[in-house]
Amino acid sequence: AIERIHHSGLHNKIMTAEQAVEFVKDGMLVGVSGFTGAGYPKALPTAIAEHAKTEHAQGKPFAIKLITGASTAPECDGVLAEAKALSFRSPYQSDPTLRAAINKGEVAYTDVHLSHIEQQVRFGFFGEMDIAIIEVVGITEDGKLIPSTSVGVSNQWVKSAKKIIIEVNTLQNPKLETMHDIFVDIGTPPNRRPLLLLNSDDHIGDYYIDCDTDKIAAIVFTHNTDRNSKFTEPDDISKRIAAHIIEFFSNEVKHGRLTENLLPFQSGVGNVANAVLAGLQDSPFSELTGFTEVLQDGMLDLILSGKMQSASATALSFSPEALQRFDDNIDFLRDKIILRPQEITNHPELIRRLGVISINAMIEADIYGNVNSTHIMGTKLMNGIGGSGDFARNAMYTFFVTPSVAKNGAISCLVPMVSHHDHTEHDVMFIVTEQGIADLRGKSPRQRAQLIINNCAHPDYRDALQDYFDRAEKTAQGVHTPHLLGEALSWHQRFVETGDMRVK
């Protein structure tokens, strides 16, 4: 393991996770690496959780404030939440134990656009960062860090934190070295300059993360896999959603609005987003590119099959089988996959310049095209906005996708009014369900409503939505965006009371 640390002056910092825990104190702001289950620390979080339990057993308080890149895994967010070792968390999570603690009010969570979090830490919105815990593949001779399967916020936390704990994960492929592009010179207003990334596969930074080695307090070895969640095989619903999107692109190409290379793809987390990419495999399009934050199985397979030329991302979020395909083909993939800081992958300037095609899943949309990505029945946090807002507002084509119903039909994902707003009507261009696609571009609110009801709603709910819309048009004080205010959220209230949005 020690050969992963080429800087011999750092060998005296090697210790166990249990020893390194002494640097982590109650109340500290701790920044960890990690993005969508990739590249998060594997040892320190458990050691911190155990330490917290010991302190609590002695009647002493112990909780840290935790900021990551995005979601981590059971052995990071999960163990810390379970040990009640977290008082605060930002900017994105998806762990069931942590989610429950947030929804019980035990952990304060702040949902932040993923492109904003690094600068918000730099500007001091969260206070000073006491410790950064960063997973790496290794350390170079001159003390630079070689990131692992995600870059996320690692470079910024290394800069911001007063002390650094490094986890060298010897299970991560050492050939990841030179697959990263670490651009840090983002500048501070009013002295910011343009980001000179003109093509999705341009390199503009360094392979490594610069690190002040004097700040390194401890180096710990781990030998653990990333979260590597399994994807379900695309089901019929996902395939139909994918087919609507692919047919739409074929039409855009036919009318000369896009070439057959389309534009760089961003695709969000989850099975549906993955299925859309899988659907591109059999499409007539070629020489595709990716400019995304999470690179999942679907995009990897497009690259391996030659459909996609290159992809830029901040994290590799693979199932165990896809990870194997990645490792087996890493020499082929080396110049086709580029991992960057999330401040770059999600940067509005770049998303706008490249004309990205953005496809993200949602919880619900309303008939006017507002989208809720984060809250169940308006009050319970699911995951967080993640990068969906960064991409939705700035992309050239912004899609939100969902099955038309959830929970065996008890919930309509198209509702009169969303119970929480993440993406406003201004940011949403296409809503797609298995029923069809609503192209909302250039449409007024009432035109949008009719399209969404006709094309996207499930037949079980279509008449009820039409009835709401018709009555609202007749009786609302203003009919620009007609609503029945006393009834707008009644579908959600009915579900809360009866477990079903349908009127029995």
Q: What are 277's two structure tokens? A: 């990419």
Q: Name the active-site residue from 75, 167, 293, 434.
A: 293
Tell me the window of 178-186, 241-249, 252-260, 358-366 that interacts with ligand 0RQ (CB under 6 A).
358-366
Report how many helices (DSSP H) and strands (DSSP E) the chain contains, helices first.
17, 25
Q: How many CB atoms lie within 10 A of CB 312?
A: 28
- Residue 254's SS3 state is helix
Are residues 292 and 317 in contact, defined by beta-carbon separation less than 8 angstroms?
Answer: no
CB of 25 to ligand 0RQ, least distance (A): 29
Beta-bridged to residue 165, according to DSSP, are 133, 218
DSSP secondary structure of 15-33: --HHHHGGG--TT-EEEE-
Q: Which is nearer to ligand 0RQ, 46 or 383 (CB)?
A: 383
Specify whether 293 is catalytic: yes
H or E element, residue 96: helix 96-103
Among 48, 176, 294, 337, binds ligand 0RQ (CB under 6 A): 294
Among 138, 143, 268, 298, binds ligand 0RQ (CB under 6 A): 268
CB-nearest residue to ligand 0RQ: 386
CB of 477 to ligand 0RQ, least distance (A): 28
Q: Which is nearer to ligand 0RQ, 46 or 314 (CB)?
A: 314
Distance (Å) of CA 249 to CA 257, 263, 283:
9, 10, 10
Binding of ligand 0RQ by 52 (CB under 6 A)? no
Q: With contacts defined by CB under 6 A, how many residues of the chain interact with ligand 0RQ?
A: 29
Binding of ligand 0RQ by 37 (CB under 6 A)? no
Tell me the window of 16-24, 149-157, 264-272, 424-432 that interacts with ligand 0RQ (CB under 6 A).
264-272
Tell me, residue by residue from 61 to 100, as one string, x for binding to ligand 0RQ by CB under 6 A and - for no binding.
Answer: ---------x---------------------x--------
Interacting residues of 241 by C-beta distance below 8 A, sequence separation 6+:
272, 275, 276, 401, 403, 432, 433, 434
Q: What are phi and psi of 240, to 5 degrees?
A: -70, -40
The one-letter amino acid at 503: V
- CA dist 490 and 415 (Å) reads 10
Binding of ligand 0RQ by 226 (CB under 6 A)? no
Are residues 30 and 131 in contact, defined by beta-carbon separation less than 8 angstroms?
Answer: yes
Mutual orientation of helices 297-305 and 320-328 as an angle, nearest 10°? 30
The one-letter amino acid at 408: N
Tell me the window of 13-21, 151-159, 193-201, 360-368 that interacts with ligand 0RQ (CB under 6 A).
360-368
Are residues 134 and 153 in contact, defined by beta-carbon separation less than 8 angstroms?
Answer: no
Tell me, residue by residue from 398 to 437, as one string, x for binding to ligand 0RQ by CB under 6 A and - for no binding.
Answer: -----x--xx---x-x------------------------
The owner of tokens 């057993």 is 57
Are residues 336 and 290 in contact, defined by beta-carbon separation less than 8 angstroms?
Answer: no
Closest CA to 127 of 29, 25, 1: 29
Binding of ligand 0RQ by 238 (CB under 6 A)? no
Among 33, 360, 398, 481, binds ligand 0RQ (CB under 6 A): 360
Residues between 318 and 337 with contacts to ligand 0RQ, criterion CB under 6 A: none
- CA dist 311 and 283 (Å) reads 18
Tell me the window of 5-13, 132-140, 263-271, 476-484 that interacts with ligand 0RQ (CB under 6 A).
263-271
Tell me, residue by residue from 368 to 387, as one string, x for binding to ligand 0RQ by CB under 6 A and - for no binding.
Answer: -----x--x-----xx-xxx
Q: Which is nearer to ligand 0RQ, 195 or 385 (CB)?
A: 385
CB of 150 to ligand 0RQ, least distance (A): 10
Q: Which residues are catalytic?
A: 293
Site of interaction with ligand 0RQ (CB under 6 A): 36, 70, 92, 114, 268-272, 293-294, 360-364, 373, 376, 382-383, 385-388, 403, 406-407, 411, 413
